[in-house]
Amino acid sequence: FGGIGGASRLGILVKGSNYLETLSHAETVVFDKTGTLTDGSFNVVAVHPSSGIDPDRLLSIAAHAEAYSNHPIALSVRAAYSGPIDQQRIDDVQEQSGHGVRARIDEHVVLVGNDKLMSECGVGCHDCELTGTILHVSLDGEYIGHIVIADVVKPDAAEAVAALRAAGVKKTVMLTGDSRARAEKIADEVGMSEVNAQLLPDEKLEKAELLKKDGALLYVGDGINDAPVMAVADCSVSMGKLGSAAAVEASDLVLISDNLRAIPRCVRIARKTRKIVTENIAFSIAMKVAFMALGVAGVMPLWLAVFADVGVMLLAVLNSLRMRLKIRGEGV
């Protein structure tokens, strides 16, 4: 109770003591990128149309195709488009998880997504020299250009990753569906041990299962695509403010404040809690054995027998209260 209460003071809701116990053994921490290491506020930084295509038309087509999506990337495209979105022009919208969107606009088939979506549909596309998320656009099977979108790394991400390693975590890993260039840039910025990019949701799941073999796995994510990985991980943390309802439901801990620095502190709380629990158990058993030996020898008075029962319990409670004192004094 002291450990769970201490975590709640840091803005982390722990759903049960068994999850705090699992967290204390975490050796590998895996992060999603968008909305977790980054603040989820995407901005369109460049619009690169193909020859003969007007940039405003490219942005308009992409914005209409993304009209029904709540993904941060879709929101940024709609925000960058200055004109109104006529929903009567849009029909047959199909979101393809980890790939993009297919829609019919003015009776034209529009694809908006990553290079995997273009490849699957037989549309040729090309890379961009700019670093960011590349959103390719095709119209009736013809490539008409791409949009470059960049998100911002959270200011506390690098500090949180460094604090996790200081707390005893052996490996920090990023799993993302974003481009490798953008993923590696962010991984270098925050100090990740390993980065895996351009992953589909099922590939994230496979990678998480492999990482579990290296030790107890803690997963930190925010999106609906993270829910399966959270279910597989030994322990998982969702972002309370930016996270989807599915991710919050599937996770074992909820980061209410979305402050990443609370995660390494919660790891230290979990390990300190386990240490105090071990101390209490060892102390209680040792005292009980000692007092039983005195009782068998017939040399233990009644007041000492009462202390052996109530006194040892009170000492264990007082020892547990050190957890709250350390948290209040910023000692963890």
Q: What is the CA radius of gyration of the chain?
A: 26
**Strands of 194-196's sheet in order across:** 12-14, 253-255, 235-239, 217-221, 28-32, 171-175, 194-196
Strand 100-105 relative to strand 90-96: parallel, antiparallel, unpaired? antiparallel
Which tokens sit at 136? 């390719």
Catalytic residue among 32, 226, 252, 258: 32
Q: Quote the CA–CA distance of 110 and 96 in Å, as a whole number.
A: 13
Single out the residue of 223, 211, 179 nearest to residue 197, CA to CA.
179
Q: Quote the CA–CA distance of 160 and 164 in Å, as a whole number.
A: 6
Pair 160, 239: CB distance under 8 Å = no
**Annotated catalytic residue 32:** yes
Residues 6 or more apart whose CB falls under 8 angstroms from that of 131 comprise 150, 181, 182, 185
Residue 296, Cβ density class (10 Å: 0-12 exposed, 13-18 middle, ≥19 buried): exposed
Estimate the crossing angle of helix 72-80 against helix 55-65, to 10 degrees.
140
- DSSP per-residue letters across 50-90: PTT--HHHHHHHHHHHTTT--SHHHHHHHHH--S---GGGE
Strand 28-32 relative to strand 133-139: parallel, antiparallel, unpaired? unpaired
User: Active-site residues: which are they?
Assistant: 32
